[in-house]
Chain A
Amino acid sequence: DTGVSQDPRHKITKRGQNVTFRCDPISEHNRLYWYRQTLGQGPEFLTYFQNEAQLEKSRLLSDRFSAERPKGSFSTLEIQRTEQGDSAMYLCASSLAVATSVPDTQYFGPGTRLTVL
């Protein structure tokens, strides 16, 4: 297994268009996370899945954002009617929950850089 992969790596779109990103986690990882990172800042949490269930969503995730993990494997993040403020790096991470007393390590993908013109 080569780690978390994300596709595409770069996306340039015009304001108002819809975009969809894909994340393939490490095999058998049951948790999957989406973060957004703007230049010069740390990542900000967007949403989190345990298997196929979306358990937590940040207030940053407006109605224009939707995420799915239909079979508990890969995940998609869709942004509808993109705005210039959506320009950022979108990071995906996955982890394997072993026991509640042991912190699971989040492994990150390379990210998808979105530019909205």
Chain B
Amino acid sequence: AQTVTQSQPEMSVQEAETVTLSCTYDTSESDYYLFWYKQPPSRQMILVIRQEAYKQQNATENRFSVNFQKAAKSFSLKISDSQLGDAAMYFCAYRSAMDSNYQLIWGAGTKLIIKP
């Protein structure tokens, strides 16, 4: 069974600085997808960025980028120029690429605090 581990329960960063959130996963599959979701306090889960395992190039979305290391089964999220609105729980999630297996498997989350 696949597992996702986020080893940092909480991270803090100064506004405008850069922060990296860690995520590791365990799987025997070769094709899968990885996601970072953001859950602000009392608000709904929002997709931040996704990565297809077959792609070697790291995904980027504006200030958000990932460092995908397939051999190491590592998928970290880098947030550049941190803003107050980035404060939230961040969840790493895994999804198999196999047909008929669409559930997301989640890490426990990292609480990101932005210091003004």
Contacts and interface: CB of A to CB of B under 8 A. Distances in A.
A28 interface: no
Nearest to B91: A42
Interface string A60-100: 00000000000000000000000000000001010100001
Interface string A4-48: 100000000000000000000000000101010000111111001
Interface stretch (B12-20, B44-52, B63-71, B80-88): B44-52
Given A103-B97, A108-B45, A31 B50 contact: no
Contacts of B46: 108
B104 A41 contact: no
B61 interface: no
A4 B105 CA distance: 20
Interface residues of B, number: 25
Contacts of B52: 103
Given A108-B44, A108-B45, A103 B106 contact: no
B78 interface: no
Counting contact residues on chain A (CB < 8 A from B), the size range is 20 to 34
B62 to A, nearest CB: 17
Contacts of B106: 42-44
A110 B95 contact: no
Nearest to B34: A103
B45 A91 contact: yes
A41 B109 contact: yes
B50 A105 contact: yes
13 contacts: A31-B102, A33-B102, A33-B103, A40-B108, A42-B91, A42-B106, A43-B45, A45-B104, A48-B102, A55-B100, A107-B47, A108-B37, A108-B46
Please list the 5 inter-chain residue pairs (A to B) with the smallest Cβ-Cβ separation, ordered nearest first: A42-B106, A108-B45, A45-B103, A103-B33, A110-B44
